[in-house]
Copies of this chain bind each other. A is one copy, B any other.
Amino acid sequence: MTSTPLTFEQKLANYADLLVRVGVNLQPGGKLYLNAPIEAASLARLVAQKAWEAGAVDVDVHYADQQLSRLMYDHAPQAALDYAPAWATEQAMHQLDDGYVFLSIAGSDPDLLAGADQERIARRSKVTAQQGRAVSERMGAFEVNWSVGAMPVPSWAAKVFPELPLDEAISQLWEAIFTVSRADRPDPVEAWRAHTEQLARVRDHLNGRRYQALHFRNAHSDIVFGLADGHLWAGGAWPAQNGVAGVPNLPTDEVFTAPHRDRIDGYVRASKPLSVRGTLIEDIYMRFEAGRVVEATASRGQEVLTALLDTDEGARHLGELALVEYDSPVASTGVLFYNTLFDENAASHIALGRAYSFNVEGGTQPATGAQALTQAGANDSLIHVDWMIGTPDTDVDGVYPDGRRESVMRAGKWKF
């Protein structure tokens, strides 16, 4: 028995279906907020159709235009950078109250803001992060299902495959996305069931261990990540507070938890470039003392990196530690995506800034969650920026409170 490869249209339909049924797991009678780049209109329309067919009573599509951000930084008066009316987040708050699920389509030029005024970007980023803080917190607590997919917009595809003609670059990037998202499988929903079951097994194993710290080493890094007290590992599919299970990122190959804000010591080097605030940062190196970044360099984008760390005190501490096998599906494509949604699933990574409240016991409790997070040592900040540190030569040990050690990873693979 042979099986015919799917056509592009079949894979695209599968992908839209996965975003709706697996990513945000839209229920009949549900409501969908969809954010997409204008270049992703074709995908947005497919998603909308799938959502209507799933019985949605609202599909609220907001299109984003990356060029408008660049224009703002290049042409707006200074007062515009500080303008952030409180009412601008009211709609998102209403939609959270009303149980909307939130789907975002990623896709932008990784170098969109290269050469723009970094001081203006940092200032504006801080203003909008403050403005969006309440919404971010509710999203971060997984109050409702949300997920992120992607669309190969031309400026992005050209960056990933600079040697190819644009049309081919776009279709190569689509194929890579289909592969890592399992949209090329005959039954992608079943493939995701099996995959998230496997991630759940890893997650449950680590949750059973109650390590106090992880010791992470490779040729360029030697660092001990203390974990938050009562930390919880997450990964794959899990229920939002309404009880509906979804998958917040498509693809996802990570399991992750909250490190302890003040218990990280050592040095670590990035294994991939990072596109953040529209600029590429390359060869990041950081040294930590008592959880705090005390040294941070990059061969490119140093100015952006420094501005990021200067956002607030929490930006110099970590909010996430994620483990990914070196030969994960994303890594196996051999593609450097210049997009965190993908690249973070090709390598173990850490995030500067805020921890997810569901990564700590009691962290999502309405009245007591904030205090639980602080007491557990989970970090807080306006930012949450992942960067990749995993390599094929990475060893990770789990360290118990009494100093006993166990192998967690050897040469970038699980060792349990």
Chain A residues in the interface with B (C-beta under 8 A)? 29, 38, 41, 44-45, 48-49, 52-53, 55-59, 61-63, 65, 67-68, 71-72, 75-77, 79-80, 83, 85, 87-88, 90-91, 94, 98
Q: Tell me, in angstroms, the Cα distance from A79 to B65 when the chains sit together.
A: 31
Q: Tell me, in angstroms, the Cα distance from A261 to B71 when the chains sit together.
A: 48
Q: Tell me, in angstroms, the Cα distance from A201 to B159 when the chains sit together.
A: 58
Complex interface: chain B residues within 8 A of A76 (CB): 52, 56-57, 59
Tell me the nearest residue of chain B to A75, going by C-beta: B52
Tell me the nearest residue of chain B to A50, going by C-beta: B75
Complex interface: chain B residues within 8 A of A48 (CB): 68, 71-72
**Nearest CB of chain B from residue A30's CB, rounded to whole Å:** 11
Q: Tell me, in angstroms, the Cα distance from A383 to B72 when the chains sit together.
A: 37
Q: Tell me, in angstroms, the Cα distance from A80 to B49 when the chains sit together.
A: 13
Complex interface: chain B residues within 8 A of A71 (CB): 45, 48-49, 52
Quick check: B87 and A94 within 8 Å, CB to CB? yes
Tell me the nearest residue of chain B to A70, going by C-beta: B45
Q: Tell me, in angstroms, the Cα distance from A354 to B82 when the chains sit together.
A: 40
Beyond A44-B68, A52-B72, A52-B80: 20 further Cβ-contacts under 8 Å? A41-B65, A41-B67, A44-B65, A45-B67, A45-B68, A48-B71, A49-B71, A53-B75, A55-B77, A56-B80, A57-B79, A59-B68, A59-B72, A59-B76, A59-B80, A61-B65, A63-B65, A90-B90, A90-B91, A90-B94
Pick from B41, B49, B83: contact of A57, CB under 8 Å: B83
Q: Tell me, in angstroms, the Cα distance from A91 to B79 when the chains sit together.
A: 21
Q: Tell me, in angstroms, the Cα distance from A88 to B31 when the chains sit together.
A: 13
**Nearest CB of chain B from residue A396's CB, rounded to whole Å:** 45
Q: Tell me, in angstroms, the Cα distance from A193 to B235 when the chains sit together.
A: 63
Q: Tell me, in angstroms, the Cα distance from A71 to B48 when the chains sit together.
A: 8
Complex interface: chain B residues within 8 A of A83 (CB): 57-58
Q: Tell me, in angstroms, the Cα distance from A266 to B63 when the chains sit together.
A: 48
**Nearest CB of chain B from residue A75's CB, rounded to whole Å:** 4
Complex interface: chain B residues within 8 A of A75 (CB): 49, 52-53
Q: Tell me, in angstroms, the Cα distance from A62 to B64 when the chains sit together.
A: 8
Tell me the nearest residue of chain B to A58, going by C-beta: B83
Pick from B29, B41, B91: contact of A88, CB under 8 Å: B91
Q: Tell me, in angstroms, the Cα distance from A99 to B300 when the chains sit together.
A: 43
Pairs A–B under 8 Å by Cβ, sample size 21: A38-B38, A41-B65, A41-B67, A44-B65, A45-B67, A45-B68, A49-B75, A52-B72, A52-B76, A52-B77, A53-B75, A56-B77, A57-B76, A57-B77, A59-B68, A59-B76, A59-B80, A61-B65, A63-B63, A85-B94, A90-B91
